[in-house]
Amino acid sequence: MTSSASLTPEIDAQAIALIRGLAMDAPLYAKSGHQGTAMALAPLAHVLYSRVLRHAPQESQWRNRDRFILSNGHASILQYAMLFLNGYGLEIDDIKAFRQWDSQTPGHPEVGHTNGVEVTTGPLGQGFANAVGMAIAERNLRERFGQDLMDHHTFVLAGDGCFMEGISHEAASLAGHLGLDRLVCVFDDNGITIDGSTSLTCSDDVAKRFASYGWNVIQGGEIGEDLDALEAMLTSARKHTGQPTLCILKTHIGYPSPDFTDAHEAHGNPFTAEHVSKTKAHMGIPDEPFWAPNDVVSQCRAHAANKGAALLSEYDSATAHAEGKHGFDQCWSEPQGDAVADLMPSFAQDSTLATRQAIQQCIEASASVLPGLLIGSADLTGNTGVKVKSVGAQSKQLPTGQQVYFGIREHAMGAAMVGMALHGGTIPVGGTFFVFADYMRPAIRLAALSKARVIFVFTHDSVGVGEDGPTHQPIEHLASLRVIPGLQVIRPADSNETKVAWECALTYPGPTALVLSRQSLPITTDGDAVRYGAEIVVESEKAQIVLVGTGSEVSVCVDAAKLLKDSGVEASVVSMPSFDRFEMQPSQYRDSVFPANVPVLSVEAGVTFGWSQYADASVGIDRFGASAPGSTVMSKLGISVQNVVERAQELMNRSK
């Protein structure tokens, strides 16, 4: 694509000095932050934004832009300085408000909060794995719809901390296996962590490690101050095909501070005013806070805007009549709930499918109207129902495939799906056993924080797993997911609720956890409880007690209500698949589901934590499970019709 003339060497030098000055001033002003990495990487960041990245500040969400991810997000002031210099809307007052309440420059980059930030980073290694997901999304869309519509790279900057975290191993292995050659990672090899030299804790050979994953490795060496050499390294990485590329750059944290270059103190302890002054004198720039000469800023912004205009113009010309444009545009459109609903299967009233089986039918039926679907599992594809027969397996040989085999890599799968969603044009769906949500917790949390539309499919949702025992029986997991703000959690009671849950997951503007059963379940609802979060499924005009359950326990409540009725007790039954959806309903509706002065007994095969806001007493499992057939474990731990009847009678007697 078209490029414009470079900035002059004088402007380059002043821009780098400006970045380093801001990297010191903002943490000093905030009395908090990390300046050392940003100072060392100022030349690299400037070269990346001014010479290498294909980006357009005037249209920051341009679909075909190169993506840049700062995986070592503690160095956020580096990214904010670049967004300021390149005209993304940040001004000096925003830099001065670094790490302050309601500012555009929070402590770690947040997507949707600061223009020009692609993903929310901070927990080390997550951004690196997000980048792998973005690269999968880019390649799949490019191969399916053509290079005129999608043809960009994902650049990620990572440090020692990112590569020590286990998620980086999983994500790098997956990227190498898939041959994601539009993925470029720059490793900031400064040899420093908070505690001191990396020699205290780590002796990995990073180059050999990544080579063994199937990456192309470029040893950049000591070129951190050589702009042309940095550009040549990044350009070489960009041109390489067949493999992702790791550029190893030997840097000196805190450079050019006379006091703290290569010192671990430069990492997270803001320099004093005296240290900042000494460093600025060494750099030859004015000793004034937030020094940002108008001519430097204006020239950098004009340069970025001109390059962006040329790229946008060329892209518009190339895509005006591109083959496949309609399908490509569909990928970027919001899923249409009505279109999905029209394709949903019907389930016979006497059917008894596990909800993990019902979800597979729903996904398969709707795949034709979800062109952005990228679906897979962590080695449990058939078990979790996330198999689409009509699409091929994503691979180096078949990059058009939409079925992703993540392997036994839950950490990487979760974060990669967040990257796919934030890239755009995709609907990532990933399945594993519910107990392994523990591996994915950071990614689930960041999906919620990022409002990324990711659908996490969790199956084998209770002690009904059976013989595998307590290591594989989720007890506390449902409660732990419900407390994550912005995460839609749905545990459907039967196939009908599963169908509606799939529709709601596709249209929710954020992540969803679908929590599904291993065991077969009877049809007990019409599915509408999912839309409202909770609904009465067995009515009683003179209910003496309300039995409320989720998932497989709704049928237990229904059977218990029948026994209670035989003994002269009127009970209504509520299916409550989603606490968060219920809380969005008007108070009048919520009061109609749980009428005042009628005792409520909750029934759920998990910890009882959280139920006190709705129930007066709870039947649950506040201990770990056991190894035995699933029905035996359920019964022994109190998830049985008889125990529910007895507990209901106890509650009514106590209420009287």
- Active-site residue list: 410
Residues linked to residue 158 through DSSP beta bridges, in sequence order: 187
Q: What is the dihedral of CA 481, 482, 487, 488, to 10 degrees?
A: 120
Report yes or no: 132 and 416 within 8 Å, Cβ to Cβ: yes
Phi-psi region of 324 (alpha: psi -120 to 50; beta: other; left: phi over 0): left
- Percentages helix, strand, coil for the chain, rounded to the nearest 5? 45, 15, 40
d(CA 70, CA 175): 18
Report yes or no: 627 and 470 within 8 Å, Cβ to Cβ: yes
d(CA 525, CA 509): 26
Q: How far is CA 146 from CA 143, 277, 314, 325, 400, in A?
A: 6, 53, 15, 9, 11
Name the nearest CA neighbour of 520 among 354, 634, 633. Answer: 354
CB atoms within 10 A of CB 262: 17
Name the nearest CA neighbour of 41 among 63, 19, 65. Answer: 19
Question: CA 87, 90, 93 angle in degrees (round to 5)?
Answer: 135
Report yes or no: 493 and 524 within 8 Å, Cβ to Cβ: yes
In single-letter form, the type of residue at position 501 comes to A
Query: Do the bridges between strand 196-197 and strand 67-70 make them parallel or antiparallel, or are there none, so unpaired?
Result: unpaired
d(CA 159, CA 165): 10
Place of tokens 């719809």: 145
Q: How many residues does the chain have?
A: 656
Using DSSP, state whether 2 is helix, strand or coil: coil
d(CA 280, CA 276): 6
Dihedral sign (CA 377, 382, 385, 388) = positive
d(CA 204, CA 164): 9
- Write phi, then psi, for 213 (nearest 5 degrees): -75, -15
The DSSP 8-state label assigned to residue 257 in this structure reads -
d(CA 294, CA 304): 15
The DSSP 8-state label assigned to residue 564 in this structure reads H
Question: CA 47, 255, 52 angle in degrees (round to 5)?
Answer: 10
The DSSP 8-state label assigned to residue 6 in this structure reads P
Query: Do the bridges between strand 183-189 and strand 245-250 make them parallel or antiparallel, or are there none, so unpaired?
Result: parallel
Q: How far is CA 619 from CA 184, 263, 477, 598, in A?
A: 52, 57, 17, 17
d(CA 555, CA 601): 14
The DSSP 8-state label assigned to residue 248 in this structure reads E
- Write phi, then psi, for 510 (nearest 5 degrees): 175, -170
Q: What is the dihedral of CA 483, 486, 491, 496, to 10 degrees?
A: 160
Q: How far is CA 540 from the centre of its chain?
A: 43
